[in-house]
Amino acid sequence: MLVMMITLALVVEISGCASHRPRGFAAQREEIVTAAVAQIGVPYRYGQSQPSTGFDCSGLTQYAYAAAGLNIPRVSSAQRTAAYPIAMQAIKPGDLVFFATAPGQQHVGIMVDDDQFVHASTSRGRVRLASLNKAYWQKHLLGAGTFVIQPQVANVTKPNGNSPFGEL
């Protein structure tokens, strides 16, 4: 019940008045978060990326970014490689957070605010909110990235010319 109340409060706070939406990057971030939060409770399904079939973690992020008109790679490792890196202190709603959850396995979620992120959870079997400050997520955190980039930032060279996170 508490999760449902938080979800409703987030959707109301983020979406505001639909007839008066902000323009530009703020609007894209809002659309990403709104699309992701609206999927809370949808079942986890490996390899899926639609509300009707369920989501895996990267399917959810790809779906939410597409709702904002942004085409991003399908799998979490490719999303991490292609995203523009950002410092954890600079994360904003709509940015992606990446985790190493098992050897050779990555997980991704979408920031909702400065602590909560939404993700398709394998262990809980559904799309849900989680706190970035929980010990589990802190232990497995790889970093953050975004595809919502201002034009003057988009031309900056990534650290190794390849991955925005250095050596993978």
Which residues are the active-site residues?
57, 107, 119
Which residues are CB-neighbours of 110 under 8 A, at least 6 positions away? 32, 33, 36, 60, 61, 64, 94, 95, 96, 97, 117, 118, 119
CA dist 158 and 155 (Å) reads 9
CA dist 28 and 68 (Å) reads 5
